[in-house]
Amino acid sequence: MPSRIPASSQRDIHPRLAERVLGHCQHAWRQPLHDHSLLAFQAVAADVAAADQVILDSGCGTGASTVRLAHQHPDALVIGVDKSVHRLARAPDLPPNARLVRAELTDFWRLARASGWRLHRHCLFYPNPWPKPAHLGRRWHAHPVFPDLLGLGGRLELRTNFQLYAREFASAVAVVLSLHPEVVSLPVADAVSPFERKYAASGHELFGVEIDLNQEKHRMKLQSLGMIALAGLLALPAVADDRLQAVIADSDRPADQADRDQFRNPFDTLTFFGIRPDMTVVELSPGGGWYTEILGPYLRDDGQLVAAHWNLDGDNVPDFYRRIRAEYEERIADTDRFGDIRIVPFDPPELIDLGGPATADLVLSFRNVHGWKRAGTFRDVARAAHAVLKPGGVFGIVSHRLPENHEQDPEARSGYVHQSWVIAVLESEGFRLVEASEINANPADTADHPNGVWSLLPGLRVPEGEDTEHFRAIGESDRFTLKFVKR
């Protein structure tokens, strides 16, 4: 059946277009996000972080255009996004470099921009034309999300069989960037999607607009658009995780551990690292199990926690290691609460096998880096984490931060280490820093205490004659929170 060209009583560019576009560039859009969009975004975020080039196929329909783009660009990650379950259910088989997700584009674009995505290419193939003049605000170029669409950068390509839509899109770009992209007539010999094939078969003329948004002069302009709205999005958790909140609030957690939440921020920290209840998570050197008390119950039903704990078969194992490890094992023996936590001995550089290659989604380390620096084994730890993680898997690290203008003790006897050193080591061992967070920062900590970090809570190892209450008031140490992905 032949397809009809969109009919409209509007004959020229809408007289209120420029006013709409300027308004959206000047005012934050605070529309709440949909949970299914958040989940979809999280599902591909690690892959994006590990990719050198990302192509976004927005409004991909059945995914046929996504597959075509993936074959054309085998070295890029191609993500197709559509809001329709029914269309996506008809998707063809995907090549390894393609992903399809169900999400609202208005949510997905904002999340992607808030997370700092810079696209290689962005395809808008045959968006809904909304031809009635009263529907101007539903067209992408007059929608409040337009600044975020442009802010993603890349070579932006629009294709449509509604010439007025293409002309308005080009005009809206001109309002924002003071450039005037050309509307061109497209050849129909090589259709990019089933829609285009249908329109061509019906004799429609097809139109396109293409803009290179990665030019430096455009990037600088786009960075300033809608930043208030983006700041709000960055503060949102990756997923509204009621289960994680419930585990943290569980009365079965020891009260003295729950008291530390104000300093250790477990919900925000684990959410920042992108944890999900179906993950395989490796916790390095869990000590007495402060985080295990949260991770075990959270992963119990659908995931797997691997505890890479002290090796008790080595030479000269301190007695307190044996005591703490025994208390840890006694606690997690409650499988109704913790599930089946797998313990593996971890003693780099000799024992560094954390599990089968590429079997873990997330590796976590809390307040351990100083010990590995002192032992000269941090690179061994990095290699072990890299080996066990899946491609795009996350290595999350929280540790005591030494100000960059303080001299670093090579043995880190104070417990503090330079954040820059950790980043440099991990990026030289196959990781890429995705984001650094100040979730666990403490500006009151000067990092120059007589007994290092142990002068502060929870230890309060204060020399005789010093004011214990002074150190108690500081709280726990200033800590960096770093999220890396396996390249």
Q: Residue 195 — pLDDT band, cuts 50, 70, 90?
A: confident
* pLDDT, mean over the chain: 91
Q: Do domains 17-234 and 242-486 have the same CATH topology?
A: yes
Beta bridge partners of 207: 160, 185
User: What is the CB neighbour count within 10 angstroms for residue 245?
Assistant: 14
- Render pLDDT for 333-377 as a digit per residue (tens, 0 to 9): 999 999 999 999 999 999 999 999 999 999 999 999 999 999 999
| Average pLDDT for 416-425 | 97
Which top CATH class is 17-234? Answer: alpha beta
Per the structure block, which two tokens stand in for 463? 């020399």
The radius of gyration of the chain's CA atoms, rounded to the nearest angstrom, is 26
Burial of residue 131 (CB within 10 Å: 0-12, 13-18, 19+) is middle
Classify domain 242-486 by CATH number. 3.40.50.150
For residue 235, pLDDT beyond 80: no
The structural domains of the chain, with segments of one domain joined by +, span 17-234, 242-486
Question: Which whole number is the average pLDDT over 268-279?
Answer: 90
91-130 pLDDT, tens digit per residue, is 999 999 999 999 999 999 998 988 888 899 999 998 999 9
pLDDT confidence of residue 228: 40
Question: Angle, to 10 degrees, between the axis of helix 242-249 and the axis of helix 292-299?
Answer: 130
Q: Give burial (CB, 10 Å; 0-12/13-18/19+) of 103.
A: buried
Percent above pLDDT 90 for the chain: 74
Report if pTM > 0.85. Answer: no
